[in-house]
Amino acid sequence: MIRILVLIIFGFLFVFTGRFLQAQSPTDLVEQCANEASENATYLKDFVVKLAEAKPGSKHPIARYPLILSKNNVYRFSVCTTEQSEGKAVIRLYDSNHLIFSSYDEDTQEEFNPFNFLCRKTGIYHVFISFIDGKPGEAVGILSYVTK
């Protein structure tokens, strides 16, 4: 009887402690990040990223996502990093090989998160997400449509 009672107590402790110690799930982070960027904006797409640490002497890991944007629309890009990440996430928007905008300026160490983009031509663009200094981490990028 005592063994059963001890097992039940440990079972409850395991279940309840496990719930409080869980890492932030990607779904929760997507919802949180979309809500932060949603002022006058409609959620369109998310980019869930988990990158390992950069190896010495190699390029920093980058997640790449192609997308099609339409002319004369304003889009909002934002990025949110999980609490457990060592690195701070950066989101960059490219047209072909040309950098259009970045959420982080390496020279001034200034952040621009979220940032809006007025699309001047319909076409394929690329979203790159990486972590500052190649540190490991998890993040979510959000693409939203800004209502006029």
Residues 21-45: tens digit of each pLDDT:
444 566 777 777 777 766 788 889 9
pTM of structure: 0.75
Note the pLDDT of residue 60.
85
User: Peptide bond before 114: cis, by omega within 30 degrees of 0?
Assistant: yes
Question: Could you give the 3-state DSSP secondary structure of residue 46?
Answer: strand
Say which residue, 58 or 70, is predicted with more confidence: 70
pLDDT tens column, 39-62: 788 889 999 998 888 888 888 899
Domain 24-146 - what CATH class? mainly beta
Domain ranges of the chain: 24-146
Question: Could you give the 3-state DSSP secondary structure of residue 26?
Answer: helix
